Chain A
Amino acid sequence: MTDTSTDTGADGNAGADGNAGAGADGNAKAPTRRSLIGWGGAGLALGAAAAGGAVAAARSGDDASPVAAAAGAPIAFHGAHQAGIATPVQDRLHFAAFDVKTDDRDEFVAMLKDWTAAARRMTAGKAVGDGAYGGLAEAPPDDTGEALGLKPSRLTLTIGFGPSLFEKFGLTDSRPEALVDLPQFAGDNLDRARSGGDLCVQACADDPQVAVHAIRNLARIGFGKVAVRWSQLGFGKTSSTTPEEQTPRNLMGFKDGTRNIAGTETDRLKKFVWVGEKDGPEWMAGGSYLVARRIRMHIEPWDRTSLQEQEDIFGRDKGEGAPVGKAKERDKPFLKAMLPDAHVRLAHPDSNHGATILRRGYSFTDGTDGLGRLDAGLFFLAYQRDVREGFIPIQRNLATDALNEYIQHVGSAVFAVPPGVRDADDWWGRALFSKEA
């Protein structure tokens, strides 16, 4: 629920997807002519889009046709940074946290290699292994099959390693100092069963079936080595990394995170998101740190709140999303015009000594809670160069947030997200696990 703000800049392409086009094995579906026209139509320089694999999708509803064309494209799996961080935010999420079940390091490494190979194929729109049919009739197929015939849908798969992983396999010396266990925050009501995890995979795609398929198949490959601890489906991205798009609304009906870091802002990504070479440890250079929080919204009480109070709580108007006293959503906010406990005021970098994070959260609705209340809210995902300088001070500052009356943090996890997989011989976690124990 933080709102980061800055001047936007469009100085080149996002660093997340350094390689060209599709997967390195070269068999990924080429973008169709129609989709190329679509990209042009979305107002991007075609060359940049193709080279970066970063496809800007206009927010659906406003300009649906370019989205439809671009949504099917693949996003490069290989690159200096993992895709799924600075990549333009896709429409859907399936996030899963896993516990490690083996104490055999070689076995775990073998699984990471198998996962990488499967991720390389799935992000290119291909089936896992020998596919979903045509194999032995007596055995289950390698791929579960529900993504057959679907486009790559800009699927990205992003892996992260939790603090507890470093206790295993003798890796405590490799644990980054920046990967701190999160402190208890005011108002936290965390469910242990929805928190933590030795590792995580964030699957983002424009088609929910593609995202679910990816997690399902990775979980399957992982059986015996890892087990799903908890997972979360998300929809309706609540923040964008593409400032040319309108800021999506959260389930409270508000635009939040208007001035998120854009995927194209190389300088700010370098300053606030990517771990630098001197930050240490070496294996994390080019990586990032992820904080995931399941934030339940008290939807029904919120809906009974007066418009004035709602707008006061956020510090924005509900229609346009403009900061208090301003006319347009993207006008620079004048924080002192807002109430002292307004959300935007407390979350803004100017109130946090410049602390800035990259958000890519999603709304979630897991049905109702047995009392007839919508079990819904925000699945908050924030990437930063150092959790101690990103999420923690911002969240501490939000202790007095007026919004807290209507939300509750019920799940929490933090992960070290290693740098990107460089090429077809590289694999998730190589730099960490290739070190001598």
Chain B
Amino acid sequence: MRPLRLSVVTAATTVAALTAVTGCTEKSSAGEDGVIAVTATDTKCEVSKKEFPAGHIELDIENKGSKVTEVYVLFPDDRVVTERENIGPGTKQKVTAEVKAGEYQIACKPGMKGDGIRQKVTAKGSGKVAKRDPRLDTAVAAYRKYAQAQADETLPLVKVFADAVKDGDVEAAKKAYAPSRIGWERTEPVAESFGDIDPKVDVREDGLEDGQDPEKDWTGWHRLERSLWKDGKLTDRDSELADQLVKDLEDWQNRVGKAEITPTSMANGAKELLDEVATGKVTGEEERYSHTDLVDFKANVEGAEESYELLKSVASENDPELTKELDKQFAALNTLLDKYRADKNGYDFVSYDKVGKDDRKELSDAVNALAEPLSQLAAAVVK
């Protein structure tokens, strides 16, 4: 198995269709051909040309509206090529970028809110541009929104958890612990693509590197899990850790929208969520003190299902047998998981230390039954 946190990026780079292009805002010597005038108002976003040669481009932006605005160049799947924030009323800004041939959107966001007012533009070039099914771009854009929404919804739950820790209220903190992780677990492959955040928030004690001190260098959810369940008490250090967790996850929330996501990374991300279950949750290693593994388990499956559902319309055309099997195995696993919670809409799962060996084997078998066909989803998407 590949290291999980690499795979989102790896998968992205293997699909050449929409290779990432870095945006920059430095002054440049763009030729006349590459200059695009953008006139932003409170209701309009006008561009001087909708077709231009691929390569170096320069946006000359003028805000003629009454609100502060921002201007984005976006890939069809909503990934950001480049952006410029805080363009005040009556001011001008320049933004430059390197773009490959392909379809893009320019978006102005008066008041710096919402999806913005959008214009489709095309960069033309001699190089061949692989065409991607527009439904896949829609799927990626929807998944990007999902990942962002998960982060947005997670932060308040993390704050509830952090506040309980800081109040020294062990029982309240225990109760808030697992719910605070659901959004992260649902989008773990994306979350983990930010290699610097994951080790701060979700590392287990055995994940510390040689020379790292568990007392000084170990941060995040699982460090607090140990305080709550193993130590049974909260210290000043735990309060610091709670603040740190909120800070690190705010970083995640701010960056999640810019993650590299492609249809194949979505598909393989779904499989990786099941791999997470297979290697960490089904063994009880992930939540070794709280035994809330089944909450993470369910969240991983939900995240995988979200990716799958978004890609399903394309995959079912290319490989109807596969999607039939996946529908069946998702249903089977969810039915099995429901055995471990009283309320099918809640996340109050049986403590994993109460799940016997035979039942763990049954869960493991169900995970394998789903993960194996799920590993074929990427192929069905790019066929």
Contact = CB atoms under 8 A, between A and B. Distances in A.
Interface of A: 99, 101, 135-140, 193, 220, 223-225, 227
Interface stretch (B70-78, B209-217, B253-261, B367-375): B367-375
Contacts of A99: 365
B379 interface: yes
Contact of B368 (A138, A139, A227): A227
A224 B336 CA distance: 14
A225 B14 CA distance: 32
A139 B268 CA distance: 8
Interface in B345-380: 357, 361, 365, 368-373, 375-376, 378-379
B379 A138 contact: yes
Nearest to B264: A138
Nearest to B382: A138
B277 to A, nearest CB: 14
B264 A223 contact: no
A193 B15 CA distance: 44
A137 B262 CA distance: 14
A138 B365 contact: no
A262 to B, nearest CB: 41
Given A137-B14, A224-B325, A101 B369 contact: yes
A104 B375 CA distance: 23
Contacts of A139: 375-376, 378-379
Interface of B: 11, 14-15, 264, 267-268, 325, 329, 357, 361, 365, 368-373, 375-376, 378-379, 381-383
- In the A-B complex, the 3 residue pairs with the smallest Cβ-Cβ separation, listed nearest first, are A139-B379, A224-B369, A227-B365
Interface centre among A99, A137, A224 (most CB of B within 10 A): A224
Contacts of A101: 365, 369
B321 to A, nearest CB: 10
A193 B368 CA distance: 19
Nearest to B262: A138
Contacts of A140: 375-376
A276 B373 CA distance: 41
Nearest to A224: B369
Contacts of B361: 227
A342 B64 CA distance: 104
A227 B361 CA distance: 9
Given A137-B14, A138-B378, 7 more contacts: A136-B379, A136-B383, A138-B14, A138-B264, A139-B376, A223-B373, A224-B372
B329 A224 contact: yes
A138 B373 contact: no
Nearest to B370: A224
Contacts of B15: 138
B82 to A, nearest CB: 28
Given A224-B325, A224-B329, A136 B369 contact: no
Nearest to A225: B369
A193 B369 CA distance: 20
Given A137-B14, A138-B264, A223 B368 contact: yes
Nearest to A140: B375
A128 to B, nearest CB: 14
A42 B309 CA distance: 61
Nearest to A223: B372
A99 B365 CA distance: 10
A425 B369 CA distance: 28
Contacts of A224: 325, 329, 368-370, 372-373
A18 B361 CA distance: 40
Contacts of B376: 139-140
A40 B128 CA distance: 61
Contacts of A225: 369
B11 A138 contact: yes
A45 B14 CA distance: 56
A136 B382 contact: yes
A135 B382 CA distance: 12
Nearest to B366: A101
22 contacts: A99-B365, A101-B365, A101-B369, A135-B379, A136-B379, A137-B14, A138-B15, A138-B264, A138-B381, A140-B376, A193-B357, A220-B372, A223-B368, A223-B371, A223-B372, A223-B373, A224-B368, A224-B370, A224-B373, A227-B361, A227-B365, A227-B369
A215 to B, nearest CB: 15
Nearest to A220: B372
Nearest to B368: A223
B261 to A, nearest CB: 14
A108 to B, nearest CB: 13
B274 to A, nearest CB: 11
B265 to A, nearest CB: 9
Contacts of A135: 379
Nearest to A137: B14
Nearest to B380: A139
B129 to A, nearest CB: 19
A224 B382 CA distance: 24
A387 B113 CA distance: 77
Contacts of B370: 224
A93 B379 CA distance: 34
Interface centre among B368, B370, B381 (most CB of A within 10 A): B368
B220 to A, nearest CB: 31
Interface centre among B329, B357, B361, B371 (most CB of A within 10 A): B361
A225 B368 CA distance: 10
B15 to A, nearest CB: 8
Nearest to A219: B368
B380 to A, nearest CB: 8
A193 B357 CA distance: 10
A102 B382 CA distance: 30
A140 B267 CA distance: 12
Nearest to A226: B365
Given A136-B382, A140-B375, A223 B14 contact: no
A223 B382 contact: no
Nearest to A229: B361
Contacts of A136: 378-379, 382-383
A99 B376 CA distance: 24
A98 B378 CA distance: 29
A287 to B, nearest CB: 28
Contacts of B381: 138
B374 to A, nearest CB: 10
A218 to B, nearest CB: 13
Contacts of B375: 139-140
Contacts of B371: 223
Contacts of B379: 135-136, 138-139
Nearest to A139: B379
Contacts of A227: 361, 365, 368-369
Contacts of B325: 224
